[in-house]
Structure 1
Amino acid sequence: MTISGSDVPLYRLVEEESGRVIIAAREINGFFVESDDVESEDILILGSAREPLRLGKDLTDVELRVVNSAGEAIGSYYIGRVGLRSTFEGKGCVGEGGFVATFYGHACPYVAAGAIWRRWASGSPIAKGEWVEYPVESHDSWLHVVQNSWFETGHAAKRYGVGEICVIDGRQILGESSFYCALGESVNGPGGYFGSTLDGLADCLASSQNSGAPFELVWERFSDAQERMGALLAASAIDVLREFCVNVALR
């Protein structure tokens, strides 16, 4: 397992009820895993404790928070029980050690999410279409970060944009996750969320009914997207949109 990370803390292990910070970490290795590798192995926490900790005693009611460069929470995962097994020192670098821990099988099945979280935490605004620059196999991780951060930062499942016309480009849609990345951005701007499943899309549309006039969705190069995301999903998404009075124009 590779040990790496910047000097800026990206994660905090906190006691959920009190918000007390237990460990501040530059990196968490072994938590973000391939989707078929749900049983995580040892977790390497590159960071330091805010107070003395006793190895071998489990921490309880633990939440893993992702924080940005200003120290504000932008994402979270409820872990529950964390076992601290041992400590380690960084090779030749003072202060670059940390803990070997177990999250008792709790893992996040989005392997690229760690790198994407670091990008989101940098403080630089997310650019329009930035998600397209990532490999298609990372689009599910981008969508996961979008959804997690959207709710963690106080947003609701609804439309915040005020534009009457939203546009998505079928050339950017390479699968189901790509579709929801494109849709969320078109409706709520870069980094915006507007569903990650058909049920989630319906929730967003239902919550948006009283927030403004119905909008039009212009789906450019629809045939390109339909082929890659699947005709059934494309048709189902259009049905859901039209059910909530969205005018969908296919081009």
Structure 2
Amino acid sequence: MSESGLIIPLYHIVEEESGKVVIAAHEISGFFVETGAQAADVLIYGSARESVRLGKDLPDVELRVVNSLGKAIGSYYIGRVGLRSTLEGKGSPEQGGFVATFYGHTCRYATAGAIWRRWASGRPLANGEWARYPVESHDSWLHVVQNSWFETGHAAKRYGVGDICVLDGREILGESSFYCALGESVNGPGGYFGSTLDGLADCLASSRNDSAPFELVWEHFSGAQEKMGASLSASVMDVLREFDVDVTLR
């Protein structure tokens, strides 16, 4: 909600071909779900901006996450969306909307919706903000990082100009948190620098052509290694050294 009291959309359901916004919604329930959860109805809290008919599919649509200025900061290709019925406002017009089916299409990052709301707020992300979330939400944060990074026009490479990047191993509690920490170390808060070993290699390969080599100072490495596992830690080190990153372990 804005300071003026207006409800600001967080999601747009958009026609893929024309780019028209069909429905603007401030909340969607049933799309961001736990892995293994059964697909259910999706509740879209918002209103139509184009003419829609209940019982008829929207044939080729994308779900876009938008910020307070209406600019897309993330996206999901859905395909068909079926509008089954309307939601009544129950005394509050903001609660109105549609009961829909995405035909089994879901996002298996359960807390991504809450994280998207934070990203859309317009407030700058803080260093280490991702680490304030429970460890089970770090994969959702990483998912939002990667989705938004490419949606907003970034490439898989290093944008920072500093010669030294510092990685705080105390914040690394597993594989997802490692990539959250690395992306922030290399590209600042909300920054992406891979989400898998292959993604890390892609970022390093692109960066090698566009910027000078950098040094990675990995503080509290032994604790991070224990949380990540020796195999993953060794594989990460191999990839970094393959692309001539000077790694200092502390």
Scaled to the shorter chain, the TM-score interval is: over 0.9
- Farther off after superposition, 50-59 or 64-73: 50-59
* Distance in 1 (alpha carbons) for counterparts of 2:130 and 2:36: 23
Equivalent residue number for residue 9 of structure 1: 9
Equivalent residue number for residue 3 of structure 1: none
Equivalent residue number for residue 166 of structure 1: 165
* Distance in 1 (alpha carbons) for counterparts of 2:97 and 2:169: 45
Paired residues of 1:89 and 1:95 also in contact (CA < 8 A):
no
Paired residues of 2:22 and 2:49 also in contact (CA < 8 A):
yes
Equivalent residue number for residue 40 of structure 1: 39
Q: Which amino acid aligns with 2:142?
A: L
Q: Which amino acid aligns with 1:151?
A: F
* Distance in 2 (alpha carbons) for counterparts of 1:214 and 1:94: 55
Pairing 1:23–2:23 present: yes
Helix, strand or coil for the counterpart of 2:194?
A: coil
Shift of 1:51: 2.3
* Distance in 2 (alpha carbons) for counterparts of 1:172 and 1:96: 38
Equivalent residue number for residue 245 of structure 2: 246
Paired residues of 2:30 and 2:41 also in contact (CA < 8 A):
yes
- Farther off after superposition, 231-240 or 91-100: 91-100
Equivalent residue number for residue 131 of structure 1: 130
Structure 2 unmatched runs, 5+: 1-5
Equivalent residue number for residue 231 of structure 1: 230
1:100-139 per-position Cα deviation (integer Å, ceiling 9, x unaligned) = 0000000000000000000000000111110010000000
What is the count of residue pairs matched by the alignment?
245
* Distance in 2 (alpha carbons) for counterparts of 1:74 and 1:133: 22
Q: Which amino acid aligns with 1:10?
A: L
Equivalent residue number for residue 114 of structure 1: 113
* Distance in 1 (alpha carbons) for counterparts of 2:157 and 2:59: 34
Equivalent residue number for residue 209 of structure 1: 208
* Distance in 2 (alpha carbons) for counterparts of 1:248 and 1:92: 59
Structure 1 unmatched runs, 5+: 1-5
Shift of 1:95: 4.3
Q: Could you say what the CA RMSD is over the residues aligned between the two structures, in angstroms?
A: 0.9
Paired residues of 2:45 and 2:94 also in contact (CA < 8 A):
no
Helix, strand or coil for the counterpart of 2:105?
A: coil
Structure 1 residues 70-149: aligned runs within 5 Å: 70-149=69-148
1:50-102 per-position Cα deviation (integer Å, ceiling 9, x unaligned) = 02211111111100000000110000000000000000112211343000000
Shift of 1:247: 0.6
Shift of 1:40: 1.9
Shift of 1:21: 0.5
Equivalent residue number for residue 185 of structure 1: 184
1:191-246 per-position Cα deviation (integer Å, ceiling 9, x unaligned) = 00000000000000001111111001011000000001111001100100000000
Q: TM-score, normalised by structure 1?
A: 0.96
Q: Which amino acid aligns with 1:219?
A: W
